[in-house]
Amino acid sequence: MRYTKTVLVMSVVILIVIFFSKCFEDNSQKTKDPRGEQYAGMSTCVGCHQKIAASFPHTNHYKTSSAINSSLLKKIADTSKKYFYYMDSSHVRLEENNNVFFQALFVKDAKETSRRFDISFGSAEKAQTYGSWDGDQLFQLPLTYYSGMNTWANSPGFPTNHPKFDRLIINGCFQCHATYIAKEDVPSGPLSVRDKFYPGTLIYGIDCERCHGPAAAHVKFQQENPLVKTAKYITGIKSLSRQQQLDVCATCHSGNDRSAQRSIFSFIPGDTLANFYFPEFGFGSMNNSQADVHGRQMQLLQSSKCFQQTNMTCGTCHNPHEPQRNNNSVFISKCMNCHQQSAHAEGFMKKMEQTKNNAELEKISCVTCHMPLQTSKLISFKDGTAAKNLPYYLRTHRIAVYK
């Protein structure tokens, strides 16, 4: 009797457990996009936009932030020097324990602190810097990987006399390098606030809807009307005005020195970017042709005759769905769409037609001479002994004749 009762109680308990676990399963399947119900998420685009969805994950936009990819980090760590010495002769060194990576501070060869790599910012095309979570705060790690020299350097703007483990990563980094993270302003002192992040809402990389705006209604309509071959409930970027098209890219490619009224996470195609910032007064605003090559492609392009005398947009040369880096012939053909009349350009074209090798092509490419690599005045790195400045090269978008 006792025995059957126990069995009965046990079965009821098991049933309850099954019932609740089913509930949770259903809940997790219905997990909403943290941006809100208007968003569908990138996985829903794949079925109907196969070609774009196949190439897009190879772009640096998609890769510009991610959870730590331990095999990539291992590769980087294995081929580069793994430490950096500060002027106070302490050093920070990379450590690995079962595929988990740390940056550890050593003073006189004794380990003082160690922080885990949690997030990477930057695709590592040129550089990659890292964040380490502590509750709802994210700290930037002192060492940044600098691809140009395959070396670990002091993170840009960090002091070189001693290592720094207490720099907070701010919302701005996410606004340009991720699709979304929710945050709140909380007091951090009598007169200051800090970002309190909700790490569970983070969507890494730049996804389709970051550029195209919320697409759940579009997905629903096209799924319910498979015979309709024209798009509904999504803004065609090509149909927007030139300034609106430029603003889609300028949200992240025109610097971040203005003071914001609204978060650029909420920017959608058709919006006017200027409305996201407080107006600037006086002469303090940037002289376009002097803009730094880091992050200010918009201003530099605006200062070019090619831009001023045509309807050029970023899309004239860039396809945001495909990796195009180092594809010299694609970019040259873009120049030639407009410069066929130039005898000088035609001359170079003739030479280039005889050059098959991409590296050879680069030497005589229009881009090499008219959009030269320049060093950033905002970003530079220190080498492993903190003595030398390693320059950070970027391609200027002021298209012009250079000496």
| Selection from 246, 298, 302, 299 nearest residue 271 by Cα | 246
Token match 């897009």: residue?
56
Which stretch in 95-103, 107-115, 117-125, 191-199 sits in contact with ligand HEC by CB under 6 A?
117-125
According to CB under 6 A, which residues from 149 to 178 bind ligand HEC?
172-173, 175-177
User: How far apart (Å, rounded) are the C-alpha atoms in residues 116 and 101?
Assistant: 6
**49 is an interface residue for ligand HEC by CB under 6 A:** yes
Indicate the residue among 132 and 222 with the shorter CB distance to ligand HEC.
Answer: 222
According to CB under 6 A, which residues from 201 to 240 bind ligand HEC?
206, 208-212, 215, 218-219, 222-223, 229-231, 234, 236-238
- Two structure tokens written together for 346: 């035609």
**Least CB distance to ligand HEC at residue 87 (A):** 23
Q: Build a one-symbol-per-residue string for 252-281: x at contacts with ligand HEC by CB under 6 A, - elsewhere.
A: xx--x-------------------------
Token match 């392009």: residue?
301
CB 139 within 8 A of CB 132: yes
CB 238 within 8 A of CB 314: no
CB 313 within 8 A of CB 246: yes
CB 209 within 8 A of CB 217: no
Question: Judged by CB under 6 A, which of 123, 132, 154, 303 binds ligand HEC?
Answer: 123
**Least CB distance to ligand HEC at residue 107 (A):** 26
- Two structure tokens written together for 403: 């000496």
Indicate the residue among 94 and 252 with the shorter CB distance to ligand HEC.
Answer: 252
- Two structure tokens written together for 56: 């897009």
**366 is an interface residue for ligand HEC by CB under 6 A:** yes
**389 is an interface residue for ligand HEC by CB under 6 A:** no
Query: Which helix (DSSP H) or strand (DSSP E) does residue 15 occupy?
Result: helix 2-29
**47 is an interface residue for ligand HEC by CB under 6 A:** yes
Question: Judged by CB under 6 A, which of 82, 115, 370, 382 binds ligand HEC?
Answer: 370
**124 is an interface residue for ligand HEC by CB under 6 A:** yes
Dihedral angle, C-alpha 330, 333, 335, 340, nearest 10 °: 170
Question: Judged by CB under 6 A, which of 168, 182, 240, 345 binds ligand HEC?
Answer: 345
Q: Build a one-symbol-per-residue string for 306-325: x at contacts with ligand HEC by CB under 6 A, - elsewhere.
A: x--xx-x-xxxxx-xx-x-x
Centre a 10 Å sphere on the Cβ of residue 145 and count the other Cβ atoms it contains: 25
